[in-house]
Chains A and B, each alone.
Chain A
């Protein structure tokens, strides 16, 4: 079974601060096939990053992804109030497709 572990569970920061979210895989993610999504209450989920570090269309450049192998990160360089959400990583390199448990950002 492919397990993605996200940490921390909750991140409490102030506007303008830098947020670093971790996603650790139980085995190597093939081809760095890892995506990040943002979920806000009442809104549809939004794709932020694919292939570990490629920003999706329309995503501000303060969102960036990095990592390879089993360790990945999503960084928000300067937090804004609208970044309050739960963030999920997802791997799609190996069956079964899997999501992490999420990290909640509070501001």
Chain B
């Protein structure tokens, strides 16, 4: 009964080659988030959508973009991946406000060659 699904689980890309990570949810939640977690580091919020409203964190590089074509799906686009972008990317959802529990997907581990 997966609620937050991320595909693929492992992604390998080349330096500078655009890559898209996918997240879908079956919870019908309003809010979807993308986090980046580098090795031995805390997950870091990149951006979130409240419905169709996009909210970028101030320190998220321009190299990272996101799309949310409908309630269920959200994509993370990395336009020109660098070696420093290798990380686990976590998608999460919450029903509404910040105090609502965030449900995380299993993550996509990105390797940049």
Bound together: no
A residues whose Cβ falls under 8 Å from a Cβ of B: none
